[in-house]
Structure 1
Amino acid sequence: MNLTRAVAPDPYSLLPECASFAVKSPDVEDGRQIPREHVLAGGNRSLRLGWAGFPDATKGFAVTCFDPNAPTPSGFWHWLLLDIPAAVSGLEQNAGAPDVDLPAGAFQLHNDFGTVGYGGAAPPPGDRSHRYYFAAHALDVAQIGVDPDASPAAASFSLSFHTLARALTVPIYSR
């Protein structure tokens, strides 16, 4: 039995193309190690994020974090924050906490850990570096049309039909 795994593709390269815009975080850089305060076994605090340059037609946003390198056929969802109003252009650190006050109308889904809100990086010990795709999705609707009990896969499916533009930052983490 071959236990070597191929590197998973960029998950967004598998979707229809869309416009892009910019998302930045003072907490991480693309391709660089996520600081311990943002990983599950550390502080488990979601990143500060800010975005700009999205289409004028944007009616709302969603923010997600996905690890395509997880040892599952479907990757691993770490965070899904939906129905963010169009007037919001960023999130404070720890906005992914389950008890935080979110922008009016916004809500968080259960992640693949089974908890509501942000679940930080937690690759298996000794596994290679995992990539964490933090995405801001500019949407053509104010509400994505899923309820708070939706699965991450169902929400992602709905997002793919309403995304006008997408912004990514992709830090890594390994133990």
Structure 2
Amino acid sequence: MLAVLSGVVINAHNAQAQDAFVLSSTNFRNSGSVAAPQVFNQDSCTGGNRSPQLTWRNAPPGTRSYAVTIFDPDASSRGWWHWAVANIPAHVHTLPENASASGALGKLGAIEARNDFGGESYGGPCPPPGKPHRYVVTLYALKVDKLALVAGRPATMFEHEIEDAMLGSAKLTVTYGR
């Protein structure tokens, strides 16, 4: 009886010790500020407009692909989409800095939505002067190999399809103000 009880305790401990789905970045620190390389580079913003480096681990079992979004919930009443990427293969666990503009996403077979700046790529933070905005970076583990989406569709369409196929998500939130 002790052996059975001991086995149960060990199994319960292992279940609790299982690592959570985690997203990290060399460019973004959770609750930190966005640096110039990731800031938008048009109008009155003069950043590098380079998509951030992202790394993840401990995806939920059954993950067949990933998607990434960056959304500003503080912009206007509906928020602002800065980036939406889908169809990142399950064997990929990192995106290099500037994956959007460098062609790295296309080489993976991933597709990008149209952001709210009107581009089919990453569009960095560029809020109006005043209170800093939050930028929520979300990595989604998906239960499908590919979403039924076409590159260049609005990010809100990507969001709907992503949520329907989601197994789990991991987030980072960063801020930027001018």
Could you state the TM-score of these two structures normalised by the residue count of structure 1? 0.84
Instruction: Give distance in 2, aligned partners of 1:60 and 1:43.
Output: 28
Out of 146-155 and 44-53, give the one that drifted further: 146-155
Contact 2:21–2:57 (8 Å) recurs in 1? yes
Contact 2:112–2:152 (8 Å) recurs in 1? no
Out of 103-112 and 44-53, give the one that drifted further: 103-112
Offset at residue 150 of structure 1 (A): 2.0
Instruction: Look up the match of 2:89.
Output: 85
CA displacement, residues 32-77 of structure 1 (integer Å, 9 cap, x when unaligned):
1101111002111111000001112000000110000002x21100
Instruction: Look up the match of 1:24.
Output: 24
Contact 1:79–1:96 (8 Å) recurs in 2? no
Instruction: Give distance in 2, aligned partners of 1:30 and 1:104.
Output: 26
Contact 1:48–1:93 (8 Å) recurs in 2? yes
Could you state the TM-score of these two structures normalised by the residue count of structure 2? 0.82
CA displacement, residues 4-57 of structure 1 (integer Å, 9 cap, x when unaligned):
xxxxxxxxxxxxxxxx61000011211111011110021111110000011120
- The correspondence for 1:114, drawn from 111, 118, 122, is 118
For structure 1, list consecutive stretches of 5 or more residues without a partner in the other structure. 1-19
Alignment of 1:18-167 (within 5 A): 21-40=21-40, 41-71=46-76, 73-97=77-101, 100-102=103-105, 103-126=107-130, 128-167=131-170
Instruction: Give distance in 2, aligned partners of 1:58 and 1:28.
Output: 24
CA RMSD, Structure 1 to Structure 2 (Å) = 1.2
Offset at residue 89 of structure 1 (A): 0.4
Instruction: Give the number of the structure whose residues are more often helix, by fraction.
Output: 2
How many residues align? The count is 153
- In structure 2, give the amino acid aligned to 1:29: R
The structure having more radius of gyration, on CA atoms, is 2
Offset at residue 153 of structure 1 (A): 1.0
CA displacement, residues 63-116 of structure 1 (integer Å, 9 cap, x when unaligned):
110000002x2110000111000000010000121x513243211111110011
Contact 2:111–2:150 (8 Å) recurs in 1? no
Instruction: Look up the match of 1:17.
Output: none
TM superposition outliers: structure 1 runs of 4+ over 3 Å: none
Contact 2:34–2:176 (8 Å) recurs in 1? yes
For structure 2, list consecutive stretches of 5 or more residues without a partner in the other structure. 1-19, 41-45
Instruction: Give distance in 2, aligned partners of 1:85 and 1:21.
Output: 16
Instruction: Look up the match of 2:17.
Output: none
